[in-house]
Every structure is written in C-alpha cells, then in structure tokens.
Amino acid sequence: MWSRARNDEPDLAAVAEEAAKSGRPAVRLESLGKTYGSGASTVHALKNVRLEVWPGEFVVLLGPSGSGKTTLLNLVGGIERPSSGRIEVAGADIAALSESARTDYRRTRVGFVFQFFNLVPSLTALENVEIIAELTGPNARARSRAALAGVGMAEAADRFPGQLSGGQQQRVAIARAIVKEPPLLLCDEPTGSLDLNTGRQVLGVLRALAREGHHTVIVVTHNSAIADMADHVVWLHSGAVSREQKVDSPVEAADLWW
Ligand SMILES: Nc1ncnc2c1ncn2[C@@H]1O[C@H](COP(=O)(O)OP(=O)(O)O)[C@@H](O)[C@H]1O
Ligand SMILES: [Mg+2]
C-alpha cells in the first residue's frame, strides 16, 4: 500500500493536504511498548506510550540519555518493530506490515537525519543526494538539485563532504532525507555535533520544511533549548511520556540560545 509507481511524480503538497483534510493524525502511537533482551536482563525501553502528532507539526522529543528517544524514532521509522501496541502512520498500522511492505514504507515515506551526517566522503554533495533520489523515482539529478537548493546548498553541489563545514554537511544530509519527499522527517540529535550558530541554521531548515506543510518533523534531542521552537513538545522519562505541551507561538530557530 506504500508503494508508488516509479514514474509517478510525488506530489507532497497534495499528500499533506489530503492528510490534513482527513482529520487523521500523521502519527498515532497507542500503548506502544518496546522491550530488549529477556529474563533478568530485560530492558523496557518504551512503556505504554500514547502520542498523537498532526500533519505539518514540528515536534521536539526531549529526554535524558537512555529515556527511549531513539527507540521511539526507530519504531516510527519502521527500523524496528514494537513489542506491543500500535503505530499508526496516516491511519495505517505499520507495526502490522509485512517485511517487504515495511521496507517500502521506510524507503518511500520516511526521511532520516542523524547526528553524524553519514555522507559518503568520495561523492560530491549532489552525488550523495542523487544515490537516494535514484532509489525513489525518476529525474534523480533534477530532484537532487532542487533538494539541495531547498536547504540553501545549491552552490555547494559539486563539493565533497571534506570541503564542507559540519552545518553544511548536515544540510546535505537533510537534502538527502527530503529528496524522496517523505511525509515524515525523523531527526535524531540533528544538531548534536554542531555549534550554536550552525545548529540554528539546520533547525531553521527543518522548521521551514514543516511550516511549508510538506513534512511532519520529529526532532529528538537532549537539548531542552530546542523545545522553544517546537509546535509540540514531548518529554520522555524512563521510556514513558512524562509531560506534553502544545505551543501557540514558537520562537524562530535563529533566536534559540544554548
Ligand atoms: N538494541 C538494544 N539492545 C538492548 N538495549 C537497548 C537497545 N537499544 C536501546 N536499548 C536500551 O533502551 C533504553 C533506551 O535507549 P535509547 O532509545 O537509545 O535512549 P535515548 O535515545 O533516549 O538515549 C536504554 O536503556 C538502552 O540501553
Ligand atoms: Mg538516542
């Protein structure tokens, strides 16, 4: 059900509009649990998590190290399977998908951004984006250039990662994540290895992606300052949601301080 015809130009604005009109959450977690190991060494990484995220929301998921943030992101992204509960994305339970449907889901519906940019050092910025663009549809080069332009990196298309700053590399990594136009953008500590200024720039890019209505963005971080720019803040503690808050007028990324 997640597959898309190869020659079908994705129209994300339409997908986002449809999702918003449907009145359905972009992501809905119900009684979500994840356990690692067994017997005396059992770790309850997530316990009975309930959460609703709306299309186009910019969500910041906060919590100390070990609270389950990465686990939650990996479950929503289809990288791992839950031990219990439901994970609905646009109304479909992805926990119930077959292995191949889950692969398709991960490939077409979700963009991932990690703390360490994971760019291929021997490929240019454009080529790094293009290898993913080629997996997900036609016109890979044009789509890759557009994605780089979207994160303010058009000028750097032909540079290698080693010739880019950390913030620039992270923007290329974001371009790579959005080139398939995923409704969901999942970011695990995306500013964890950036200084304040480049961190703000990267967050500004992510914020714009959510604001333009094309992406629902979930940013996981232990940096509580980032919560100020969120529409929706969720605090995790010991694998459970300890607090949740909606924000009417979040601050701009450029005004964050840490
Ligand atoms: N693959 C795994 N095997 C065993 N335990 C794990 C695994 N992944 C995470 N955990 C444990 O689950 C808990 C939550 O981890 P994680 O989601 O990585 O937290 P966070 O991202 O908030 O630091 C921790 O106790 C961690 O040690
Ligand atoms: Mg983590």
Residue 14 pLDDT exceeds 90: no
- The dihedral through the CA atoms of 76, 201, 180, 213 has a sign that is positive
Gap from CA of 242 to ligand 1 centroid (Å): 17
The dihedral region occupied by 9, where left means phi > 0, alpha psi between -120 and 50, and beta the remainder, is beta
Atom of ligand 1 nearest to the CA of 37: 4
73-128 residue pLDDT tens: 999 999 999 999 999 998 889 999 999 999 999 999 999 999 999 999 999 999 99
Atom of ligand 1 nearest to the CA of 236: 22
121-178 residue pLDDT tens: 999 999 999 999 999 899 999 999 999 998 999 999 999 999 999 999 999 999 999 9
Protein residue closest via CA to atom 24 of ligand 1: 66
Q: Please give all residues whose beta carbon lies within 6 A of any atom in ligand 1, as ranges.
A: 36-37, 43, 45, 63, 65-71
Residue 54 pLDDT exceeds 50: yes
Protein residue closest via CA to atom 16 of ligand 1: 68
Atom of ligand 1 nearest to the CA of 64: 22
Domain boundaries, the chain: 12-119+182-250
Protein residue closest via CA to atom 7 of ligand 1: 36
What string of DSSP letters covers the chain?
-----TT----HHHHHHHHHHHT--SEEEEEEEEEES-GGG-EEEEEEEEEEE-TT-EEEEE--TTSSHHHHHHHHTTSS--SEEEEEETTEEGGGS-HHHHHHHHHHHEEEE-SS----TTS-HHHHHHHHHHHS-S-HHHHHHHHHHHTT-GGGTTS-GGGS-HHHHHHHHHHHHHTT--SEEEEESTTTTS-HHHHHHHHHHHHHHHHTTS-EEEEEES-GGGGGG-SEEEEEETTEEEEEEE-SSPPPGGG---
181-221 residue pLDDT tens: 899 999 999 999 899 999 999 999 999 999 886 799 999 99
pTM: predicted TM-score of the whole model, two decimal places: 0.90
Gap from CA of 66 to ligand 1 centroid (Å): 6
Protein residue closest via CA to atom 12 of ligand 1: 45
CATH number for the segment(s) 12-119+182-250: 3.40.50.300
Residue 21 pLDDT exceeds 70: no
Gap from CA of 162 to ligand 1 centroid (Å): 31
Protein residue closest via CA to atom 8 of ligand 1: 71
Gap from CA of 193 to ligand 1 centroid (Å): 20
